[in-house]
Structure 1
Amino acid sequence: MELLGQRWILRVIWELQSGGPLGFLELRRRMGNCSSSMLSERLQQLAAAEVVTKNATGAWELTAIGAQLAGALCTVWDWSKCWRSRPPQAKREHPARGTAD
């Protein structure tokens, strides 16, 4: 969880999940304002955790563990889309308590 909480980590996983294997420059382009040094650091951290790897062409891709993690993130994404589409009053009520948060 500590790794996932670091800035840019989830974005790297998301981009690799949605874009397939990506070279560093393409991944960097997709990451917007993430610096090259920060991206490099995050990729190394994810590689050390066996979430990403470099393939034979040198592109970064998710490992089997990374693909499982990306699947879990997709579940969270689906939840957020559902939550965002709810009426404003429903968003204020806590589902278990029926009261505002």
Structure 2
Amino acid sequence: MALLDLLGRRWTMRLLWELRTGPLSSRKLRHAVDGLSPSVLQDRMDELRGSALVELRVGGYALTELGKDLLERILPLHAFAETWSAAQKAEKPLRDDPAP
């Protein structure tokens, strides 16, 4: 359950997602995640580093092998989210119609 607690914290999943293509500096992460404060970024990265999902390299923060493994397991959830989002958009006009 500790992993779910970590992943459920605000911005954690988004930060992992942004690191999927390679290392990013703190500045680039903040730019990629609009609305993320520097202090929250530091807190989340400390938590992810402490959980061995992210490491700090010369090029910035990067996923560890364990972090990459986690992201691979999350990818099917991303595919589901895309399908779900499309279905929600398609149904929205129906919900706005008043009941007869």
2:16 corresponds to 1:13:
yes
State the TM-score, normalized to the length of structure 2: 0.79
Please tell me the residue identity of whatever aligns with 2:15.
Answer: V
Q: What is the count of residue pairs matched by the alignment?
A: 86
2:23–2:59: 8 Å Cα contact kept in structure 1? no
Displacement of 1:20 after TM fit?
1.2
Distance 2:16 2:38 in 1: 16
Q: Secondary structure at the match of 2:34?
A: coil
Q: Secondary structure at the match of 2:73?
A: helix
Displacement of 1:81 after TM fit?
1.6
Distance 1:85 1:15 in 2: 22
Q: Which stretches in structure 1 are left out of the alignment for 5+ residues?
A: 89-101
More displaced stretch, 38-47 vs 78-87 = 78-87
The CA RMSD measured in Å over matched residues stands at: 1.4
Displacement of 1:47 after TM fit?
0.1
State the TM-score, normalized to the length of structure 1: 0.78
Displacement of 1:70 after TM fit?
1.0
Displacement of 1:61 after TM fit?
0.2
Q: Which stretches in structure 2 are left out of the alignment for 5+ residues?
A: 92-100
2:55–2:61: 8 Å Cα contact kept in structure 1? yes
